[in-house]
Amino acid sequence: MTSIAVIPGDGIGPEVTDQAVRTLDVLGFGLVFDVLDHVNADTYLKTGTALSDADFDRIAASGAALLGAVGDARADTAYARGVLLRLRFALDLYVNYRPARLMHDRFSPLRDASRRPIDCVVIRENTEGLYTGIGGRLRPSTSQEVAIDSEISTRHGVTRILDFAFSVARRSVCMVDKSNAVRHGGALWQDCWALARGRRPDVQTSHEYVDAAVMKLVHDPTAFDVIVTNNSYGDILSDLTAELAGGLGTAASANINGATGFGLFEPVHGTAPDLVGTGTADPIGAVLSAALLLERLGHDDGATAVRAAVDAVVAAGQVTPDLGGHLSTNDVGAAIRARL
Ligand code: ATP
Ligand code: MG
């Protein structure tokens, strides 16, 4: 028996997470669900606590976690950070793993998608880079004001994300940086890349500067398998690949500690306040996140079955309005379960 911590969260989070849990339930695999449905903005607004120590411990003790979305216009940013960043840093979820696979030609924004079906994974460093908040503002509000954000790359952090990318490579690994312009961090990434490649001579590799990478991704996404990059480039590239694969409603992600294997799985989209209660939120991103969870737990056959079921409902047009259909969140979930 493996316990899965479930954090439905806010907005459409509970609606899509419910479909993900029910999908996993159909498959069995001895998963039991520990639902923390009190971890949400209402609780935060009442108590001032985003994630209590007791709830953190429940999540940390589970075999994996499934998350909907957290965020609320009524709460300050300390709320979402108190949940997401606490889990990310305390559990050291240094890998952000975002697969992008075109499920149907009609979802691609590219002309002639049939010749350019994207099927890649962006592996984004999740704990350092440009987003650590290190920096400051000098002479604030004067005409001489200067703002500085430091981009942090550590040998430890770069090495482990590159090694993780090799560990999940199927055909090849492409490292993306901007080492022709970002001198110090670029040089460190290049050093670590040379060493990581040396450890895995069996894997085909390539390197792209980030500006060239975006052009090539649009020109020929089939050229990419695993893309590994830093926090900020990964942020941007993974939104591009998600859109090339069909958009926000279907994109899945995982936040993983490559050493312990623990993962937090969540759809890429947020709380989508405009859709709450309409019953039209696309559950596919959440369901495919559950497939990633199965894969991480070693149930590759289950993950494959879920993807095949999703492909089948998509091909049959049994989809929500964001994908051009007229089914509800629950109808799409039921159609997926029926095929399992
Ligand atoms: P947050 O601040 O939590 O990220 P947001 O307002 O940015 O919330 P997102 O969830 O990021 O909203 O999504 C942006 C828009 O994309 C939504 O307003 C919605 O219209 C659409 N969208 C997002 N997720 C889905 C989904 N699962 N199904 C259909 N449409 C979606
Ligand atoms: Mg958003």
- Does one domain contain both 197 and 165? yes
| Low-confidence residues in the chain, pLDDT < 70 | none
* Amino acid 208: pLDDT: 98
- The active-site residue, picked from 34, 37, 92, 131, is 131
Cβ 13 under 6 angstroms from ligand 1: no
Cβ 269 under 6 angstroms from ligand 1: yes
* Amino acid 112: pLDDT: 82
> 17 CA distance to ligand 1 centroid (A)?
14
- Does one domain contain both 47 and 26? yes
* Amino acid 151: pLDDT: 98
- Residue 178 annotated in active site: yes
Cβ 274 under 6 angstroms from ligand 1: yes
Query: What value of ipTM does the predicted structure carry?
Result: 0.95
> 270 CA distance to ligand 2 centroid (A)?
5
Neighbours of ion ligand 2 (CB under 5 A): 270
Residues 293 and 62: beta-carbon distance below 8 Å: no
Nearest to 255 by CA among 133, 115, 83, 28: 83
* Amino acid 50: pLDDT: 97
Residues 176 and 237: beta-carbon distance below 8 Å: yes
Name the closest-CA residue to atom 6, ligand 1.
Answer: 272
* Amino acid 83: pLDDT: 97
- Does one domain contain both 219 and 198? yes
Distance CA 157, CA 210 (A): 19
* Amino acid 114: pLDDT: 79
Q: 203: Cβ–Cβ under 8 A, 6 or more apart, which residues?
A: 166, 169, 172, 173, 197
* Amino acid 246: pLDDT: 87
Using DSSP bridges, classify how beta strands 119-125 and 226-229 pair: parallel, antiparallel or unpaired: parallel
Q: 162: Cβ–Cβ under 8 A, 6 or more apart, which residues?
A: 175, 192, 193, 196, 228
Residue finishing a domain among 229, 244, 259: 244
> 142 CA distance to ligand 1 centroid (A)?
37
- Does one domain contain both 231 and 136? yes
Sign of CA dihedral 27, 31, 34, 39: negative
Q: What total of structural domains would you count in the chain? A: 2
- Residue 235 annotated in active site: yes
Residue finishing a domain among 210, 244, 278: 244
Cβ 285 under 6 angstroms from ligand 1: yes
Residue finishing a domain among 197, 221, 244: 244
- Does one domain contain both 203 and 320? no
* Amino acid 115: pLDDT: 79
- Does one domain contain both 114 and 235? yes
pTM across the whole model:
0.95
- Does one domain contain both 233 and 138? yes
For the chain, give the mean pLDDT: 96
Cβ 247 under 6 angstroms from ligand 1: no
Q: Tens digits of per-residue pLDDT, 218-239?
A: 999 999 999 999 999 999 999 9
- Does one domain contain both 237 and 254? no
- Does one domain contain both 226 and 117? yes
Using DSSP bridges, classify how beta strands 64-69 and 263-267 pair: parallel, antiparallel or unpaired: parallel
CATH number, domain containing residue 331: 3.40.718.10
- Does one domain contain both 113 and 79? no
Q: 113: Cβ–Cβ under 8 A, 6 or more apart, which residues?
A: 102, 105, 106, 107
- Does one domain contain both 113 and 235? yes
> 77 CA distance to ligand 2 centroid (A)?
13
Q: In which domain, by residue range, is 129 found?
A: 109-244
